[in-house]
């Protein structure tokens, strides 16, 4: 019977074992520091105001889920089910138009030669350094002329024109790392540029596209300034605005309810991240080309 690789490897020395122990200990300590705010948030959702401000421990004195029920109902006539639905009415269309527009623009920059390509790419990269706040006033005036205020179009339509330049840059860099062998073979077989994009490029871009979806989902769910500027009707608020409304609804804030609903608001982003974790691993292991 043949020996396995594990059987053939030499045993670890005492120094190597101590090094591994120190390495994993340091990683565990850093992980605990990073997770502590989340653990405190979950524990505080079961505490009273006195416990929240009087104790630093993670564990509450008793488990009481009433804060979750009260936070879900909110102080308005709408429950958080309405606000979550509103968030998804923004997030889902925005992700769709972001993926389509950014893939098209990245494909053009990475695979085609045209006049002014380097200048346009430089301008696009330069916009990454501009703070979004400087665009708010001209965009607000433009959307006001369109009659789009108090609606979701100002939050969705700009992404249909590849304005999320970080994603375009990321996809371009990913495409530049993919050899053109399969594309050249498909071209010889008679594929036009659109067929090449749909049947060759997009499958190869799957890990990067998943990254775009995850980042756009999290960023849109956490977006506060955009909805605050463009939405004025409470029934159209997303979760980010509803959380602020819950905190400022009364003179004395019941922090357990606000923290409880904050924990619930984190769940979709956490679920999407862990659901996409496999694709992150696949992107590290392979770019989609099998040798």
45 and 144 both lie in a single domain: no
224 and 256 both lie in a single domain: yes
Cβ contacts of 216 within 8 Å, gap of 6 or more: 91, 94, 95, 98, 159, 164, 167
Distance set, CA 100 to CA 137, 171, 219 (Å): 27, 12, 18
At residue 157, the pLDDT reads 94
24 and 140 both lie in a single domain: no
Query: Of 47, 64, 81, which residue is a domain's last?
Result: 64
At residue 291, the pLDDT reads 40
Domain count of the fold of the chain: 2
At residue 14, the pLDDT reads 75
At residue 8, the pLDDT reads 59
At residue 281, the pLDDT reads 63
49 and 84 both lie in a single domain: no
59 and 157 both lie in a single domain: no
In a domain, residue 252? The reply is yes
At residue 251, the pLDDT reads 59
140 and 47 both lie in a single domain: no
- Whole-angstrom Cα distance, residue 288 to residue 279? 11
At residue 279, the pLDDT reads 72
* Centroid of chain to Cα 53: 31
186 and 204 both lie in a single domain: yes
144 and 199 both lie in a single domain: yes
Q: Which of 75, 73, 35, 42 is nearest to 59 (CA)?
A: 42
Distance in Å from the first CA to the final CA of the chain: 31
In a domain, residue 11? The reply is no
The total number of residues shown for the chain amounts to: 291
pLDDT by 10s per residue, the chain, length 291: 444 444 556 777 777 778 888 988 998 899 888 888 888 888 888 887 778 787 777 888 777 788 888 888 877 788 889 999 999 999 999 999 999 999 999 999 988 888 888 899 999 888 888 888 888 889 999 999 999 999 999 999 999 998 889 999 989 988 888 888 888 888 887 888 888 888 888 888 888 899 899 999 999 999 999 999 999 988 999 999 988 877 765 557 778 888 888 899 999 988 988 888 777 666 555 444 444
Judge contact between 219 and 289, C-beta under 8 A.
no
In a domain, residue 9? The reply is no
In a domain, residue 101? The reply is yes
Distance set, CA 153 to CA 159, 160, 162 (Å): 10, 11, 15
In a domain, residue 6? The reply is no
At residue 286, the pLDDT reads 45
Give the single-character DSSP code of 198: I
At residue 197, the pLDDT reads 86
In a domain, residue 4? The reply is no
Angle at 253 between CA 247 and CA 259, to 5 degrees: 60
133 and 211 both lie in a single domain: yes
36 is written with which tokens? 């502590």
Could you give the 3-state DSSP secondary structure of residue 241? helix
Query: Which structural domain, as residue segments, surrounds residue 21?
Result: 16-64
278 and 152 both lie in a single domain: yes
In a domain, residue 5? The reply is no
186 and 273 both lie in a single domain: yes
152 and 93 both lie in a single domain: yes
């Amino acid at each position: 019977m043949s020996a396995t690789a594990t059987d053939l490897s030499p045993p670890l020395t005492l120094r190597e074992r101590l090094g591994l122990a120190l390495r994993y200990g340091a990683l565990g300590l850093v992980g605990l520091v990073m997770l502590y705010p989340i653990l405190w948030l979950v524990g505080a959702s079961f505490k009273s105001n006195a416990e929240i401000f009087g104790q630093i421990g993670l564990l509450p004195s008793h488990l009481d889920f009433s804060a979750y029920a009260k936070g879900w109902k909110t102080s308005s006539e709408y429950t958080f089910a309405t606000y979550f639905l509103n968030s998804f009415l923004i997030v889902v269309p925005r992700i769709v138009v972001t993926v389509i527009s950014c893939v098209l623009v990245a494909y053009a920059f990475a695979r085609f030669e045209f006049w002014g390509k380097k200048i346009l790419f430089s301008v696009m990269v330069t916009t990454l350094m501009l703070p979004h706040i400087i665009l708010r006033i001209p965009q607000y005036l433009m959307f006001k002329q369109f009659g789009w205020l108090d609606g979701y179009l100002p939050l969705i339509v700009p992404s249909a024109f590849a304005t999320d330049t970080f994603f375009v840059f990321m996809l371009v860099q990913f495409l530049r790392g993919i050899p053109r062998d399969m594309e050249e073979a498909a071209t010889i077989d008679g594929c036009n540029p659109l067929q090449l994009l749909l049947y060759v490029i997009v499958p190869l871009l799957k890990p990067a596209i998943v990254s775009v979806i995850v980042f756009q989902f999290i960023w849109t769910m956490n977006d506060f300034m955009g909805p605050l500027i463009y939405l004025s009707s409470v029934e159209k608020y997303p979760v980010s605005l509803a959380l602020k409304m819950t905190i400022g609804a009364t003179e004395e804030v019941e922090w357990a309810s606000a923290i409880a609903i904050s924990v619930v608001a984190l769940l979709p982003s956490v679920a999407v991240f862990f659901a996409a974790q496999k694709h992150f691993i696949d992107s590290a292991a392979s770019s989609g080309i099998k040798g």
